[in-house]
């Protein structure tokens, strides 16, 4: 804690991450979207770019889960390979395949920075 100012941004983000992960497991995506957006705004005001970005990633994940329920699953067409996060395609970026999508080298690096607490 930092006096009467509340928890540090690091501690706050840790607590939010725990709450968001629980909410996602319990299929409460709307809570993650609302909380993630509020956290994004808060961390933006603090100029905490890493936490700002990570908050948006949770919002994106919750939205993707909600959309899975309402949109038909698309068959993974190898001829239309694009990053499931940023949408870029080869040869702009290198892609790695997952079970239901792709991730590019740039997004892997960005996520690594988020989890390593780097800007």
Q: What pTM, to 2 d.p., does this model score?
A: 0.58
CA angle at 104 for the pair 100 and 110, rounded to the nearest 5°? 115
In whole angstroms, give the CA distance from residue 12 to residue 93.
34
pLDDT above 70: residue 46: yes
Domains of the chain by residue range = 7-71, 75-119
Q: Which residue has the higher pLDDT, 33 or 74?
A: 33
| pLDDT tens, position by position, 16-45 | 999 999 999 999 999 999 999 999 999 999
Residue length of the chain: 119
| pLDDT tens, position by position, 47-61 | 999 999 999 999 998
């Amino acid at each position: 804690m930092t006096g009467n100012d509340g928890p540090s941004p690091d501690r706050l983000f840790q607590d939010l991450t725990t709450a968001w992960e629980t909410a996602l497991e319990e299929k409460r995506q709307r809570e993650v979207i609302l909380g993630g957006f509020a956290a994004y705004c808060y961390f933006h005001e603090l100029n905490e770019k890493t936490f700002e970005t990570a908050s948006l990633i949770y919002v994106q994940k919750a939205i993707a889960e909600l959309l899975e329920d309402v949109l038909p699953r698309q068959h993974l067409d190898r001829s239309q390979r694009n990053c499931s996060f940023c949408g870029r395609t080869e040869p702009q970026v290198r892609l790695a395949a997952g079970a239901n999508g792709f991730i590019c080298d740039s997004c892997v690096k960005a996520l690594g920075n988020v989890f390593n607490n780097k800007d």
